[in-house]
Structure 1
Amino acid sequence: MTVTPCRILPEMLSEFMRDALVRSGADAKEAGCVAENLIWNDLVDRRNHGCERLSILCTKVRSGAIRSPSRIRFTKLGSGAGSLDADDGFGQIAGQRAMAHAIDLAGTAGMGGVSVSGSNFFGTGAAFLVEATKADMIALIMSNSFAKVAAHGGVAPVLGTNPIAFGAPRRDGRALLVDMSTAGLAGSTLRAHRRQGLDLPTGLVIDKAGNQLTDPELALNGTLLPAAGAKGFGLSLCVEILAGVLSGSAMSKQIGSLYANSSQPGNNGHFVLAFDIKHWMPLEAYYDRFDAMASMIASSSPDGSVRLPGEARWDALDRNSREGIEIEPETARHLEELAANLGMQTPW
């Protein structure tokens, strides 16, 4: 009987994931980049985008749905604009490369926008924002995804959860990080409710007739609703137009599912914007103004306990870097099965 430890050292888990991807057919350098992305998500407690995704990524590589090495091609379209063809490669790498190009463009033009086509599921947008904030830039990144969300007033799925993420640097290096689905419920959260046997709140998932679903087992085959009704629908359209229509990638029902068809590339689209703060004001002036805003927000509660988005993520990163990454039993079981199939040993 396998005994799963509570926590695993990040270095050991990262090496295991890189080796699993390589044994599945991924290029070694790309496998290392993807493992770093997954580890970052585990470290900041976004476990549904960390090692939990390793098995499906290995499956996609083995089937050829994710090409590795990919022949990513960047085209500069103007002083502050560019496009990137991800060549059906890892979305995690496409997001990283797109952000790097956006940062370069912004350094010259003040702002840089990069569209991405021919990509796959890319995980969390926040993972890519960190590099921009380290470069003293404000950034925005979004991605369209497999259609499982209804339009406001509709019942059939026509849009993805279409995440949007925003980041801004702070003086202490713990950047503001906003990362959210434009649906009322992320697909990964739905799967977590199912694993834990928890009912869903009403107003998040409907069946084909438009009836509310709260049983997570039934909700797996239901349609998600946009966040905050028409507001979430509007944000999702913003993502779909920039990441889908403008990029030239697949749109709406054209996008392949990460899980449903293991041999089909997603052809997801992404869109990245980076803003070089120094083109607007001196960095010290920006940080002074940010700190003043943060103080006003913190003081809006009697005990000053209001926190900005991202603070809990940085706390988790510090804690998990010291104590190791916690792995849930079901995730551990899937990783053990993957290791057995690849002739590997798990790091526990």
Structure 2
Amino acid sequence: MAAAAAEQELLLHLKLAFLAQEPPACVLCLARKAGGGSVTPHVQNFILESCTGNNAGGDQNSTYVTIILKRIIAEAELSSDIVIDRLYEEFGQFMSSKSNNSSLNRTEKIYKEISFLSPTNDNKRVSLVARLSCSINMLEGDTGCSLWPSSLFLSEFILSYPKIFSKRCCFELGSGVGLVGVCLNYVSASKVILTDGDASTLENMKANMEMNNLCVEQEDSELLKENKNKVQCKYLSWEETSESDLWDSRPDLVLGADIIYDPVCVPHLIRVLSMLLKRRNNRGINNVADKEETSNEFSSGATEIPVAYIATVIRNVETFNCFDKAAADAKLSVVNITNSEAPLSLLPYMLSYDRSSVQLLKITLFS
């Protein structure tokens, strides 16, 4: 019984990795694990029926599927395992589809399904699925439409500590594809405001919200005011925005993933954070019960004082030191809570996701 359950868990990881369009080497590694060390006919059938088949769900990139099938066939042949005929047939069909669809170019997107596994022991293994349109060339100037480790880490943090974000107005800087927004809506944030300073990224973000059945809020829309699945997607230039532009937002919580990346942008980021973290009266806590519940989350907890949670990969120490100094000069308290408040591992099937590279910062404005 335990062995069967373990096999089902491995097969689930294999499927979720495929739908998330993990690198082929990662998918192949999971396929081997599911087969006990080799890609067995049973695993091959699973890939055909649950990954590349009609019941896999989502829009499939024929190039990606072709590469996966090619690697699976090569692995099975190399290990002298049987390669089932249907695998060759499916590979041929996708090869034909790829040749007939030669219009794929650098500006096209791929669709990923990011599935967060349930942290509980209930029967519902997948608690949330985020469907996202992402760039296929994140190093070709389309970084805002790419999915980064810090965004995955921040999303795990939100889902691990839902009480922090429930019934709170949440404001994200540099929202990119919008994964954090999907997670904030899932944990019942009272309001979700996603922002980005790139017009094309903003349009892609809006499309992603609609793909996840989240209404993109428009002004004077009575219908959307009654819809609990509601977010705002706004253009925000850190260089140009003023305090009056941000006043209506009045967030309880500010979030950001991989927004500390360029020394030139650091002063503008610090200025925006300082404006958003200013104490304001009559914030999002509506009653005594809400206050007591929130104060139980982390010892420093009351959200009458706005708090920012920034997830970042320190790729350049000088850039981070620049941020740290600018924050101190602006009287911002920056505390690394990566270890003390580590999120649960909700994406174990994403072998390419290096959680250890991400730092989580808690930022407040000194009184």
Give the alignment's TM-score, normalised by structure 2: 0.28
Could you say which structure has the larger radius of gyration? 2
Which structure exhibits the higher relative contact order, with contacts defined as CA atoms closer than 8 Å and separated by 6 or more residues?
1
